[in-house]
A and B are shown apart, each in its own frame.
Chain A
Amino acid sequence: MMTKKGWDEFEIGAMLRTFNGKIDDIAGTQQQDRDYSENSSYTASVADWRLIKPIFNKDYCIDCQFCWVYCPDVSIISRDKKLIGVDMDHCKGCGICVEACPTNPKSLLMFPEQADEESEIANWPKKDEKEA
């Protein structure tokens, strides 16, 4: 690991293993069932990049999965065709999911990082009536 090396030392070529031990069917194993090694960026966090964060309100979600497919950071967690929530360790707060959300009111909205999830969901905006 780089942490054990001095500032002027660097490995010329390196091979990193994503998993501890053997994994046979990665495409058939969801993230929670994988044994990630400490070299996988899955074990790291970019949560401190965020200034604003998405909050997910499942009451309005229609599980269309647009947010899942357009999330650049694999941070929208969907299992069995249902949206479960947002992975706050890997979300960078770009807001693409909110733009992609087609429901009215949106089931994902951006709030300041320090906002409290429960109270924001309690005060969720009402349906936006379209002007005729």
Chain B
Amino acid sequence: MSEIKNIKNLKEFSTSADRFEGANLLCPGCAHSIIVREVLNATNDDLILSASTGCLEVCTAVYPYTSWDASWIHIGFENSSTAVAGAEIMYKALKKKGRLKQPERTPKFVSFAGDGASYDIGFQWISGCMERGHNMMHIVLDNEVYANTGGQRSSSTPIGSSATTSPEGKKSYGEKRNKKDMMAIMAAHGIPYVAQVAPNKWKDMVKKIQHGFAVEGPVFINAVSPCTTEWKFDPKDTMNIADLATDSLVFPLYEIIDGRELNITYRPKNIVPVEEYLAAQGRFKHLFKDEYKYLIKEWQDRVDEKWAYLQRREEARI
């Protein structure tokens, strides 16, 4: 086993040599690259990476440029997870045959995908990877919309959000279905580690990523990625929106070990009303019209219910 990188505080973290480069074409203020940097800097080991089609892929690999300083591959929309799973199997096979040039080096296998590529299009592939028990990590950059193609709804889009294929208008308040609970689905695979992270809680994020790298077997990470373009807020507010998301418990930070043990890893000191989170984003603007105000209360109830459920799960240890 390789050593876990020692990161006690932000100053120590800042001595990391980035393996992700600037001059990628992500929007100013995009949270994707913040998440990617925090993940890559959490380890000193070699990395074998892949990305599904999506914002991250099209913006970091614009021929003839690449923004990655590690082995990185893109194949299709659905199969970032299987691409990395293939590399991982091959690594194991070569190791068994003694054909690795530097067998003492233990690379980490990570696949990145957006919520569209994970919740919808790549769902079967990810499920397969998790079930087969590859030693890899799948990270979802969850911006709740197909941001790369112009903001179509995905199954991660929450109720009331206005997306281009579920727009708000005279007869509609936008998306009508609730967000798919991917965390529960992945935990149901019985995999060693499932966690939800947010870029604004970098320490929690690094801890979870390092735990994920340390365990043997598939790891699923759902990372909240506020999208300045589709969530419609000012680029400078990316981290403020992420703060609102975690502090209003719309995105509670928790982990599930071995599909059973649930731990809440962040409890906000002051819980912010969901209304503040909704009000900060243009995609929920219409919910503040009189006829849709009831949806805000429904939002709050849903978030409260989920939080109560998580706490009960944590207490029961089942």
Contact = CB atoms under 8 A, between A and B. Distances in A.
Interface of A: 1-3, 11, 14, 16, 18-19, 26-31, 34, 38-46, 49, 63-66, 68-75, 78-81, 87, 89-96, 98-100, 110
Contacts of A91: 22
A29 B240 CA distance: 32
A32 to B, nearest CB: 10
A94 B235 contact: yes
A2 B239 contact: no
A99 B13 contact: no
A31 B163 CA distance: 39
Contacts, number: 151
A38, A89, A99 interface centre (most CB from chain B within 10 Å):
A99
A70 B13 contact: no
Contact of A72 (B10, B11, B14, B26): B26
Interface of B: 10-26, 28-34, 37-38, 43-45, 60-70, 199-200, 202, 228, 234-240
Contacts of A93: 28
B24 A41 contact: yes
Contacts of B24: 41, 73
Contacts of A90: 21-23
Given A44-B23, A64-B10, A1 B31 contact: no
B22 A63 contact: no
Nearest to A78: B14
B45 A27 contact: yes
A94 B199 CA distance: 16
Contact of A1 (B10, B37, B64): B64
B34 A70 contact: yes
Given A26-B19, A65-B11, 13 more contacts: A16-B66, A18-B69, A68-B14, A69-B10, A70-B238, A70-B239, A73-B28, A74-B37, A89-B23, A94-B238, A95-B29, A95-B234, A96-B239
Say what secondary structure dominates the interface of chain A.
loop
B66 A41 contact: yes
A2 B63 contact: yes
A129 B28 CA distance: 31
Given A30-B17, A94-B28, A96-B238, A39 B11 contact: no
A89 B22 CA distance: 8
A27 B64 contact: no
18 contacts: A29-B17, A30-B17, A31-B17, A31-B18, A40-B65, A41-B21, A41-B23, A41-B66, A43-B23, A70-B202, A72-B31, A73-B22, A74-B18, A74-B20, A81-B12, A81-B14, A94-B235, A99-B237
Contacts of A95: 29, 234-236
B38 A40 contact: no
A27 B22 contact: no
A39 B16 contact: no
A75 to B, nearest CB: 6
A102 to B, nearest CB: 11
**Looking at B23, B28, B45, B234, which has the most chain A CB atoms within 10 Å of its CB?**
B23
A18 B66 contact: yes
Contacts of B15: 78-81
B17 A27 contact: yes
Given A74-B20, A94-B28, A94-B29, A100 B239 contact: yes
A51 B34 CA distance: 21
A11 B18 contact: no
A45 B23 contact: yes
Query: Taking each of A19, A44, A73, which has the highest tally of chain B beta carbons within 10 Å of its own beta carbon?
Result: A73
Nearest to A100: B239
A38, A41, A94: most-surrounded residue (chain B CB, <10 A) = A41
A19 B18 CA distance: 14
